[in-house]
């Protein structure tokens, strides 16, 4: 009963925030609605006892990805009117996407009707059952190659991003912190012995 | 007495949790109040001053009433909301910084075999909640509609994202020792001589974690988010009265949190330093008061947390503020490589079965 109530509450907030993402005029508000959407989906995952996935969703998407997203969106100077000009031009693409998604949802429902149980209700497990350990065991045994492949892919993406941004401009002045720290007094100050001079 | 115990046992589990949550929260809030006093006193002594010494409690302990005087002052001040600010976000931002600092205590192993919530993915829960705290700072900076506040928020966001990676990697090392994400298990796996606690085998990670913790809480020398000399007060420049006090509360609650987490991850949490020297059935532990003091328990966690808090304050009294590019260099080019190297070293140690892995 409580779980059902929570499910509908989370689902309502999730739909509301997802709607907010596309309707709010301010891009920062959109990004914040997206954060709320991630949070509520994490809540929904908790309800089906996938606590590891729920926490990781918050950690990765809310804690890292969306922070950077907000970072960029806040710095951009987006003119909302300018963006809205393209609305009618790209509307057909939007409708196409909507139709495709609707088709998929209907497909899932129909497939379920045909006797294939794709949306099975998860069987509750004992309280001392460790979701995390299970996931680890599966990830590092059965799916170890796809997992490592994904890791390599991410590594390649990181290296590519660094290579794209690393260019040495000519005449660029950079501080060499090691040289700064290693500096001794005699590198900066020269003490000269000289005879006393009379002031004119 | 028996009837109280019976009543307590008859309560449902959510009522137990509720009582513990209220207790922990109250203790934390009071600790924050006295931590501000301790900070001002300690820095005062380090700088050969006396620190606050006027407001006494009923004529005793000069200075001890200072936190309460501050709270009353901040409560009766007006909370200003800038005219062109984003009202809702401006008001909700202090709460967003504060809530994670308290919510993380749910999984903290407070006493032997006790936490409010025994979560298996406890460590991840801690990481994800601490990363949510940054939203308060970013939103406060953005919603204020002020250049200084915005600059402070941007600095804070970049800094926290950078140091979170080092922090996460340092905790991977802790995971490799404990073999569990459960904070209680992490403490129990350290039991033994105090030289064998995580701080010795994982010394570089211990340092990295603590430094990242200082950076994550926006404390000196990493407090560029509020750098008074450049951007006035950074992200909370537009906040006044109790709204400002909430940011203040959150900063100190976060300090306590990081100090407690450092003690849990690296210096044995509630384990007594004598653990491993005296066996659990030693006669000393049966002596009424002494036994409780020398044995494992909550008081050791409190003592270790207090030590790390004092180090926080000591750092603030000692070091000048980092320049912004130096902070980024330290985070990305020093701390992260150190953690990665040490995780590799740990891998070798696991393979050779030395240190904490010798038993298995």
Cβ-based contacts of B325 with chain A (< 8 Å): 175
The pTM of the full predicted model, rounded to 2 decimals, is 0.83
> Is the confidence at residue A149, as pLDDT, over 90?
yes
Of the spans B154-163, B305-314, B349-358, which averages the highest pLDDT? B305-314
| Nearest-CB residue to A131 (from B120, B128, B157) | B120
Cβ-based contacts of A175 with chain B (< 8 Å): 325
Mean pLDDT, chain B, whole residue set: 83
In chain B, how many H helices and how many E strands? 16, 0
- pLDDT computed for residue B311 by the predictor: 92
> Is the confidence at residue A35, as pLDDT, over 70?
yes
Q: What value does the mean pLDDT take over residues B173-177?
A: 85
Cβ-based contacts of B84 with chain A (< 8 Å): none
What is the sign, positive or negative, of the torsion defined by CA atoms of B206, B207, B211, B214? Answer: positive
> Is the confidence at residue A90, as pLDDT, over 60?
yes
In chain A, how many H helices and how many E strands? 10, 0
Q: How many CB atoms lie within 10 A of CB B21?
A: 17
Cβ distance of A56 and B124 shorter than 8 Å = yes
Instruction: Report whether A38 contacts A56 (CB < 8 A).
Output: no
**Nearest alpha-carbon partner for B123 in B63, B65, B189:** B189
Chain A nearest-CA residue for B131: A63
Cβ distance of A67 and B154 shorter than 8 Å = no
Name the interface residues of B facing A (CB cutoff 8 Å): 89, 119-121, 124-125, 127-129, 131-132, 134-135, 138-139, 142, 150, 153-154, 157-158, 160-161, 164, 181, 325-326, 329
CA of A164 to nearest chain B CA: how many angstroms apart?
Answer: 18
- pLDDT computed for residue A176 by the predictor: 80
Cβ-based contacts of B121 with chain A (< 8 Å): 51-52, 55, 131-132
Of the spans A69-78, B58-67, B192-201, B307-316, which averages the highest pLDDT? B307-316
Q: How far apart are the first and last CA of chain B?
A: 45
Name the interface residues of A facing B (CB cutoff 8 Å): 28, 32, 35, 51-52, 55-56, 58-59, 62-64, 67-68, 70-71, 74-75, 130-133, 175, 177
Instruction: Report whether A63 contacts B128 (CB < 8 A).
Output: yes
A40-44, A110-114, B57-61: least confidently modelled range: A110-114
**Nearest alpha-carbon partner for B217 in B252, B264, B242, B182:** B252
Mutate to test the interface with B, among A55, A78, A165, A174 (most CBs of B within 10 A): A55
pLDDT per residue over B288-310, tens digit each?
Answer: 777 777 777 788 888 899 999 99
pLDDT per residue over B49-104, tens digit each?
Answer: 888 888 777 767 777 788 888 888 888 888 888 887 777 888 888 888 888 888 88
Cβ-based contacts of A59 with chain B (< 8 Å): 124, 127-128, 131
- pLDDT computed for residue A89 by the predictor: 78
Cα atoms in the Cβ-side hemisphere of radius 13 Å centred on B350: 14
- pLDDT computed for residue A120 by the predictor: 60
CA of A190 to nearest chain B CA: how many angstroms apart?
Answer: 28
Whole-angstrom Cα distance, residue A61 to residue A71? 14
A88/B37: higher pLDDT: B37
- pLDDT computed for residue A119 by the predictor: 56
- Please, which residues have CB within 8 angstroms of residue B226's CB and are 6 or more apart in sequence? B152, B218, B233, B234, B235, B236
A90-94, B190-194, B208-212: least confidently modelled range: B190-194
| Nearest-CB residue to B128 (from A63, A71, A132) | A63
Q: What value does the mean pLDDT take over residues B229-255?
A: 82
B293/A199: higher pLDDT: A199
CA distances from B343 to B64, B160, B181, B312, B340 (A): 45, 22, 17, 26, 5
DSSP assignment letter at B332 = I
Cβ-based contacts of A56 with chain B (< 8 Å): 124, 128
**Cα B111 from chain centroid (whole Å):** 17
Q: How many CB atoms lie within 10 A of CB B68?
A: 13
> Is the confidence at residue A153, as pLDDT, over 90?
yes
Cβ distance of A51 and B120 shorter than 8 Å = yes
What is the sign, positive or negative, of the torsion defined by CA atoms of B7, B12, B13, B16? Answer: negative
Instruction: Report whether B346 contacts B206 (CB < 8 A).
Output: no
Q: What are phi and psi of A124, to 5 degrees?
A: -65, 140
pLDDT per residue over B41-51, tens digit each?
Answer: 899 999 888 88
A110/B342: higher pLDDT: B342
Whether residue B221 is preceded by a cis peptide bond, meaning omega within 30 degrees of 0, is: yes
Cβ distance of A132 and B142 shorter than 8 Å = no
CA distances from B265 to B14, B26, B32, B144 (A): 28, 24, 22, 37
Please give the torsion angle defined by the CA atoms of residues A34, A39, A43 and A45, in that order, rounded to the nearest 10 degrees: 70
B266/A87: higher pLDDT: B266
Cβ distance of B161 and A67 shorter than 8 Å = yes
| Residue A37 banded pLDDT, cuts 50, 70, 90 | very high
CA of B292 to nearest chain A CA: how many angstroms apart?
Answer: 31
């Amino acid at each position: 009963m409580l779980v059902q109530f929570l499910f509908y509450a989370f689902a309502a907030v999730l739909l509301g925030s997802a709607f907010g993402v596309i309707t709010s005029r301010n891009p920062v508000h959109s990004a914040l609605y997206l954060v709320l959407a991630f949070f509520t989906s994490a809540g929904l995952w908790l309800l089906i006892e996938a606590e590891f996935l729920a926490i990781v969703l918050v950690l990765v998407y809310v804690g890292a990805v969306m922070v950077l997203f907000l970072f960029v969106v806040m710095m951009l100077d987006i003119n909302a009117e300018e963006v809205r000009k393209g609305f009618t031009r790209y509307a057909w693409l939007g409708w196409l996407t909507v139709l495709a998604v609707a088709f998929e949802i209907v497909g899932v429902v129909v497939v379920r009707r045909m006797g294939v149980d794709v949306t099975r209700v998860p069987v509750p497990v004992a309280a001392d059952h460790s979701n995390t350990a299970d996931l680890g065991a599966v990830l590092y045994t059965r799916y170890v190659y796809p997992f490592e492949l994904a890791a390599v892919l991410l590594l390649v993406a990181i290296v590519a991003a660094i290579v794209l941004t690393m260019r040495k401009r000519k005449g660029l002045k950079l501080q060499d912190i090691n040289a700064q720290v290693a500096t001794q007094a005699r590198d900066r100050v020269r003490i000269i012995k000289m005879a006393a001079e009379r002031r004119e | 007495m028996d009837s109280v115990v019976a009543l307590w046992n008859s309560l449902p589990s959510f009522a137990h949790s509720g009582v513990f949550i209220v207790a922990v929260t109250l203790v934390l809030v009071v600790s924050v109040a006295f931590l501000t006093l301790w900070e001002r006193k300690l820095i005062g002594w380090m700088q050969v001053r006396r620190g606050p010494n006027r407001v006494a409690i009923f004529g005793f302990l000069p200075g001890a009433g200072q936190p309460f005087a501050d709270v009353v002052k901040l409560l009766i001040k007006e909370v200003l909301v800038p005219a062109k600010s984003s009202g809702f976000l401006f008001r909700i931002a202090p709460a967003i910084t504060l809530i994670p600092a308290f919510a993380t205590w749910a999984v903290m192993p407070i006493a032997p075999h006790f936490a409010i919530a025994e979560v298996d993915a406890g460590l991840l829960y801690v990481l994800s909640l601490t990363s949510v705290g940054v939203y308060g700072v970013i939103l406060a900076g953005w919603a204020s509609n002020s250049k200084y506040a915005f600059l402070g928020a941007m600095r804070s966001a970049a800094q926290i994202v950078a140091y979170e990676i080092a922090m996460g990697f340092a905790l991977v090392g802790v995971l490799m020792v404990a073999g569990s994400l459960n904070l209680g298990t992490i403490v129990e796996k350290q039991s033994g001589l105090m030289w064998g606690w995580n701080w010795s085998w994982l010394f570089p990670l211990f340092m990295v974690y603590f430094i990242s913790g200082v950076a994550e809480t926006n404390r000196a020398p990493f407090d560029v988010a509020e750098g008074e000399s450049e951007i006035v007060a950074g992200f909370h420049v537009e906040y006044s009265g109790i709204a400002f006090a909430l940011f203040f509360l959150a900063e100190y609650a976060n300090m306590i949190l990081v100090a407690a987490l450092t003690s849990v991850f690296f210096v044995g949490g509630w384990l007594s330093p004598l653990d491993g020297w005296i066996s659990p059935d030693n006669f000393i532990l049966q002596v009424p008061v002494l036994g409780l003091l020398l044995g494992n328990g909550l008081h050791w966690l409190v003592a270790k947390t207090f030590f790390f808090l004092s180090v926080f304050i000591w750092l603030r009294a000692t070091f000048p503020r980092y320049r912004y590019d130096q902070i980024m260099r330290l985070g990305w080019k020093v701390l992260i490589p150190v953690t990665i190297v040490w995780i590799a070293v740990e891998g070798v140690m696991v393979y050779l079965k030395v240190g904490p892995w010798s038993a298995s």
